[in-house]
C-alpha cells in the first residue's frame, strides 16, 4: 500500500517479481478492484496469465471487464484450453461475450463443442493439449517433436502413440523414450496392453476414482469412436474431488449445493437453498410431536421422564450420524459396495452392542447414584438408551446403502434425516418401556 501511495511502481514490480504466482494472486485479492488491477498490470505477460488462473472467479471477472481486448487476447492465447473452457462456463454473459470475441474462430468452435458435453462429464474437464506421436516415428523423431510442442502441452512425461485416424495404439513415458535406441520405432517400445482410458461422457467423479485406483497423474480421453480427444490431468481431478466433497458436505448438512462460492452467493440464494430441506425436516419432526402428545399421561404421572428426552434423542442422532458418515465415505471411495450390505450391517450391529452397553451402563449409574431418581426410572432410561443406540447405528448404516440402491446420492441420507427418524423411534421405545416397567 505504501508503494502504491508513493506511486513507486518500479520497486513494487521488483517486489512482485520475487513472489510466487499463488502468493501474488492472494495479495491482489486483498486490494480493492482499482489497486488490484494496477498490481496485475505491473506483472510481465507470462506471469500475469499464471496469476490470473489462481484468482477467485470474482476477481477474474473484474479483470476481464477492465482490461483491453489485446490484454484479453494474450491471456486466452497463453491459456490451457481446459482453463479457458472453465472460465467461459463460470463467467456472466457480458464477460463471456468479451472472451469469445477475443478468441480465434478455431478455439471458438472447440469451446462450443466442450460446452455441449454433459455437466460434470470427462469432456468438460479434459484438455486438448497433449503429446501425440505417430506410431511409425522413430524415438529420435518423437523426442524432437516433444521438444517442439513442450511449451504448449500440459504434460510431456507421458506420450500417446496414435494411428493416422487418432486411434490410441499405446503409451510411452519420457523416461522410456530417453532410454531407448534413437533409431527404434516407437511402436516397438510403447506399452500397448491394458490401456486405461476415460470416455468423454463418463462422469468426472468416476474418472477421479479411476485415476486414484491406478495412481495416475494423467489419463487419455476417448470419444465414442475410440478416437483420442484429450487428456485429464491430476490438477483437474483435484478440483473435481474438492467440488464433490463440498457437494457431499452440503447435502449431509441438508443444504442444496451451491453453484458459486459462499461469499459470491446472494443472501436470497443461500436462504432458498436451505429452507426447503428445513421445511421437510420440520414437517417430519411432527411425528416426534405426535408421540410426545400421545404420551402426555405418562409424562404427567412421572414428570421427571421428560428431563431425559433431549439426552436420548441427541445420543441416538449422534450414533446414527457416526455410522452414516463412515458408510457414506466408504461408498464414495468404493471401499464399500452394495453387495457388502450384510457385512456392513453385521459390523455396525457388533459395534452398536459395545457402544450401547457402555453408554447405557454409564447413564444408569449417573441417574441412579448422582440424580437419585430411583432404580426403575434409571433402568427405563438405560434400557431405552441401549436399544436407541443399536437401532440408530443400524439405520445410519442402512439408509445410505438404500439410497445408493435407488440411484440417489447417499449423502442425502445423512445427519438431519437420520436424526429425525431416530428421534421418533427412541421416544416410542422410551414411553413403551416407561408404561411397562412403571405400570402406567
pLDDT in tens, 9-20: 888 889 999 999
- Range picked from 81-90, 124-133, 177-186, 400-409 for highest mean pLDDT: 177-186
Q: Classify 334 in phi/psi space as left (phi over 0), alpha (psi -120 to 50) or beta.
A: left
- Least confidently predicted of 82-86, 142-146, 160-164, 372-376: 82-86
The answer to whether residue 358 scores a pLDDT higher than 90 is yes
Give the domain CATH number at 215: 3.10.580.10
Same-domain status, 369 and 294: yes
Of residues 309 and 83, more confidence is placed in 309
Assign 360 a pLDDT band (cuts: 50, 70, 90): very high
Assign 176 a pLDDT band (cuts: 50, 70, 90): very high
Does residue 199 fall inside a structural domain? yes
Pairing outcome for strands 198-199 and 228-233: unpaired
Does residue 221 fall inside a structural domain? yes
* CA distance linking residue 67 with residue 72, whole number of Å: 7
Segment 405-426, tens digit of pLDDT:
888 777 766 666 788 888 899 9
* CA distance linking residue 261 with residue 243, whole number of Å: 11
The answer to whether residue 354 scores a pLDDT higher than 80 is yes
198: number of Cβ within 10 Å: 27
Assign 279 a pLDDT band (cuts: 50, 70, 90): confident
Of residues 94 and 348, more confidence is placed in 348
pLDDT value, residue 259: 63
Give the domain CATH number at 378: 1.10.357.20
| Backbone angles phi and psi of 10, in degrees to 5 | -65, -50
* CA distance linking residue 85 with residue 98, whole number of Å: 14
Please count the structural domains in the chain.
Answer: 3
Decide: helix, strand or coil at residue 219.
strand
The owner of cell 434425516 is 417
Does residue 253 fall inside a structural domain? no
Does residue 125 fall inside a structural domain? no
- β-partners of residue 68 are none
Assign 109 a pLDDT band (cuts: 50, 70, 90): confident
* CA distance linking residue 416 with residue 249, whole number of Å: 12
Does residue 280 fall inside a structural domain? yes
Q: If 0-12 CB within 10 Å is exposed, 13-18 middle and 19+ buried, where does residue 117 land? A: middle
The answer to whether residue 110 scores a pLDDT higher than 80 is no
* CA distance linking residue 28 with residue 31, whole number of Å: 6
Assign 258 a pLDDT band (cuts: 50, 70, 90): low
Segment 244-253, tens digit of pLDDT:
777 777 766 6
- The residue among 88, 115, 142 that closes a domain is 115
Give the domain CATH number at 76: 1.25.60.10
Give residue 300's domain range.
Answer: 267-438
The answer to whether residue 288 scores a pLDDT higher than 90 is no
* CA distance linking residue 43 with residue 59, whole number of Å: 16
Same-domain status, 159 and 70: no
For the chain, helix (H) and strand (E) counts, in that order, are 23, 6
Q: If 0-12 CB within 10 Å is exposed, 13-18 middle and 19+ buried, where does residue 145 land? A: middle
* CA distance linking residue 256 with residue 233, whole number of Å: 29
pTM for the whole structure: 0.64
Same-domain status, 430 and 281: yes
- β-partners of residue 386 are none
Same-domain status, 218 and 180: yes
Same-domain status, 221 and 369: no
- The residue among 56, 88, 115 that closes a domain is 115
**DSSP E strands, 135-210:** 158-162, 168-173, 198-199
Same-domain status, 271 and 416: yes
- Range picked from 175-179, 234-238, 294-298 for highest mean pLDDT: 175-179
Q: Classify 289 in phi/psi space as left (phi over 0), alpha (psi -120 to 50) or beta.
A: alpha
Does residue 241 fall inside a structural domain? no
Q: C-alpha cell of 288? A: 416426534
Q: Which residues contact 294 (CB under 8 A, 6 or more apart)?
A: 431
* CA distance linking residue 20 with residue 40, whole number of Å: 14
Segment 292-311, tens digit of pLDDT:
888 888 888 788 899 999 99
Same-domain status, 346 and 283: yes
Does residue 106 fall inside a structural domain? yes
- Least confidently predicted of 223-232, 258-267, 310-319, 368-377: 258-267
Q: Classify 257 in phi/psi space as left (phi over 0), alpha (psi -120 to 50) or beta.
A: beta
pLDDT value, residue 410: 79
Amino acid at each position: 500500500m505504501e508503494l502504491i501511495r508513493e506511486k513507486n511502481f518500479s520497486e513494487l514490480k521488483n517486489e512482485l517479481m520475487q513472489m510466487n504466482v499463488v502468493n501474488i494472486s492472494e495479495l491482489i485479492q486483498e486490494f480493492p478492484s482499482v489497486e488490484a488491477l494496477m498490481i496485475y498490470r505491473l506483472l510481465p505477460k507470462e506471469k500475469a496469465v499464471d496469476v490470473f488462473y489462481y484468482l477467485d472467479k470474482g476477481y477474474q471477472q473484474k479483470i476481464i471487464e477492465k482490461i483491453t481486448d489485446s490484454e484479453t487476447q494474450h491471456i486466452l492465447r497463453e491459456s490451457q484450453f481446459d482453463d479457458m473452457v472453465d472460465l467461459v462456463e463460470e463467467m456472466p454473459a457480458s464477460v463471456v461475450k468479451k472472451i469469445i470475441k477475443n478468441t480465434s474462430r478455431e478455439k471458438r468452435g472447440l469451446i462450443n463443442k466442450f460446452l455441449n458435453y454433459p455437466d460434470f462429464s470427462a469432456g468438460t474437464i479434459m484438455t486438448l493439449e497433449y503429446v501425440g506421436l505417430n506410431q511409425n516415428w522413430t524415438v529420435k523423431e518423437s523426442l524432437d517433436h516433444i521438444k517442439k510442442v513442450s511449451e504448449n502441452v500440459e504434460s510431456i512425461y507421458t506420450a500417446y502413440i496414435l494411428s493416422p485416424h487418432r486411434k490410441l495404439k499405446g503409451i510411452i513415458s519420457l523416461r522410456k523414450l530417453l532410454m531407448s535406441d534413437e533409431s527404434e520405432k516407437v511402436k516397438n517400445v510403447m506399452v500397448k496392453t491394458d490401456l486405461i482410458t476415460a470416455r468423454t461422457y463418463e462422469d468426472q467423479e468416476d474418472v477421479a476414482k479411476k485415476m486414484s485406483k491406478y495412481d495416475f497423474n494423467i489419463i487419455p480421453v476417448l470419444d465414442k469412436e475410440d478416437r483420442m480427444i484429450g487428456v485429464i490431468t491430476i490438477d483437474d481431478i483435484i478440483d473435481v474431488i474438492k467440488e464433490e466433497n463440498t457437494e457431499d458436505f452440503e447435502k449431509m448438512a441438508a443444504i442444496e449445493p451451491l453453484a458459486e462460492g459462499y461469499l459470491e452467493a446472494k443472501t436470497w440464494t443461500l436462504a432458498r437453498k436451505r429452507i426447503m430441506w428445513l421445511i421437510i425436516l420440520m414437517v417430519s419432526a411432527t411425528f416426534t410431536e405426535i408421540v410426545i402428545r400421545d404420551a402426555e399421561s405418562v409424562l404427567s404421572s412421572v414428570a421427571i421422564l421428560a428431563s431425559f428426552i433431549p439426552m436420548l434423542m441427541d445420543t441416538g442422532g449422534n450414533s446414527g450420524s457416526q455410522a452414516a458418515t463412515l458408510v457414506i465415505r466408504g461408498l464414495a471411495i468404493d471401499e464399500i459396495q452394495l453387495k457388502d450390505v450384510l457385512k456392513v450391517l453385521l459390523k455396525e450391529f457388533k459395534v452398536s452392542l459395545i457402544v450401547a452397553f457402555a453408554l447405557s451402563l454409564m447413564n444408569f449409574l449417573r441417574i441412579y447414584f448422582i440424580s437419585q431418581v430411583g432404580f426403575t426410572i434409571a433402568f427405563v432410561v438405560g434400557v431405552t438408551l441401549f436399544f436407541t443406540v443399536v437401532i440408530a447405528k443400524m439405520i445410519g448404516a442402512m439408509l445410505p446403502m438404500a439410497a445408493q440402491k435407488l440411484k440417489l446420492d447417499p449423502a442425502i441420507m445423512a445427519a438431519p434425516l437420520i436424526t429425525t427418524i431416530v428421534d421418533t423411534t427412541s421416544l416410542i421405545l422410551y414411553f413403551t418401556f416407561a408404561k411397562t416397567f412403571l405400570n402406567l
